[in-house]
């Protein structure tokens, strides 16, 4: 009985430590310590939202970014195989933006995952920033959901602890869609 009470108390504390962010077609629980959102919407069809968590004793931060693209003409009805194929195509296009700002850039193989029962693709990457010569690593996800193309990106510094990175990765995998 006491163990059950302690477990419920732990779950209550954990559920209150993260706030949910509604990105239109779902919610992501922003991990504790992340600040934001910082929003950028260069067009009606495209928006990006970022959250950061500063590392202790550092001016460097972990990044958690959500990008939503709603094509003006919509996305045609696709079976799961075609959804995955299109998601891979767009993942590589989004990743190209990261690659342009990195030296010694390398990636893992693309893998298929499921986020709240929706098929998605994921790739890990690492490389050196061309702006400030620091080593970075990250993971990018891409998927099609409700006529939108969704991309989730987690990025951090290789020389710092990975707690924020792992919390952000877990938040992406725990997204709840409407």
Q: Report pLDDT for 62.
A: 98
Please check whether residue 98 lies inside any domain of the structure: yes
Q: What is the CATH number of the domain that holds 128?
A: 3.40.1000.10
Instruction: Classify 134 in phi/psi space as left (phi over 0), alpha (psi -120 to 50) or beta.
Output: beta
CB atoms under 10 Å from CB of 115, counted, come to 20
The rounded distance, in Å, linking the Cα atoms of 156 and 159 is: 9
Please check whether residue 4 lies inside any domain of the structure: no
| Domains in the chain, number | 1
Range of the domain at 144: 21-177
Rounded mean pLDDT for each run of 10 residues along the chain, 178 residues in total:
31 50 95 96 91 95 96 90 96 96 97 97 97 96 95 97 97 97
The rounded distance, in Å, linking the Cα atoms of 1 and 46 is: 51
Residue 131's φ and ψ, nearest 5 degrees, are: -80, -45
Q: Report pLDDT for 42.
A: 86
- pTM, two decimals, is 0.87
Quote the radius of gyration of the chain (alpha carbons, Å).
17
Q: Report pLDDT for 18.
A: 61
């Amino acid at each position: 009985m006491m163990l059950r009470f302690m477990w419920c108390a732990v779950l209550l504390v954990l559920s209150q430590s993260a706030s949910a962010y509604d990105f239109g077609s779902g919610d992501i629980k922003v991990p504790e310590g992340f600040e934001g959102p910082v929003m950028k919407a260069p067009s009606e069809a495209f928006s990006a939202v970022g959250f950061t968590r500063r590392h202790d004793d550092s001016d460097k931060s972990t990044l958690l970014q959500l990008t939503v693209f709603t094509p003006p003409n919509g996305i045609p009805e696709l079976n799961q195989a075609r959804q995955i194929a299109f998601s891979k195509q767009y993942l590589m296009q989004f990743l190209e933006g990261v690659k342009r700002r990195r030296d010694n850039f390398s990636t893992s193989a693309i893998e298929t995952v499921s986020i709240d029962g929706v098929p998605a693709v994921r790739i890990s990457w690492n490389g050196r920033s061309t702006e400030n010569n620091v080593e970075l690593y990250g993971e990018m996800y891409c998927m099609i959901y409700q006529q939108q193309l969704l991309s989730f990106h987690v990025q951090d510094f290789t020389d710092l602890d990975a707690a924020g990175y792992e919390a952000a990765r877990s938040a992406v995998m725990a997204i709840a869609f409407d």
